[in-house]
Amino acid sequence: MERENMPRQLQIELPPDVAEGIYANFAVITHSPSEFVIDFARMVPGAPKAKVQGRIIMTPMNAKMLLKALEDNIGKFEANFGEIKTPDKHPNAKGQIGFSNEPSS
């Protein structure tokens, strides 16, 4: 196998201040010709706005590679645990994302 076609191993460093992670239940994606910006936010029930917890900026090529990686991982997740329900497929959904003030039935 040619050297350029061999898989490379990449060591990833996870600093302690990042290892715990940040919870986000909402994302806003914007783009320009040269970059995609993804703001991850947290919505709180009854609050009039969502607070951005983190921002990721990437090239269009890397954004597309992220999309493919997410599609692959979601497929593997659903193969193990079943379909992930989204508001457009959930029987009680009213097209809302995040929290609702109405009790679920």
Does 37 fall in a domain? Answer: yes
In-domain check, residue 99: no
Tens-digit pLDDT profile for the chain (105 aa)?
A: 456 676 788 999 999 988 889 999 999 999 999 999 999 999 988 889 999 999 999 999 999 999 999 999 999 999 999 999 988 755 554 545 554 444 444
Is residue 105 in a domain? no
Q: Which domain holds residue 26?
A: 19-81
Instruction: Tell me how many domains the chain contains.
Output: 1
Alpha-carbon separation of residue 79 from 40, 55, 83, 91 (angstroms): 27, 30, 8, 22
Domain annotation covers residue 102: no
Q: Does the reported pTM lie above 0.85?
A: no
* Inside any domain, residue 70: yes
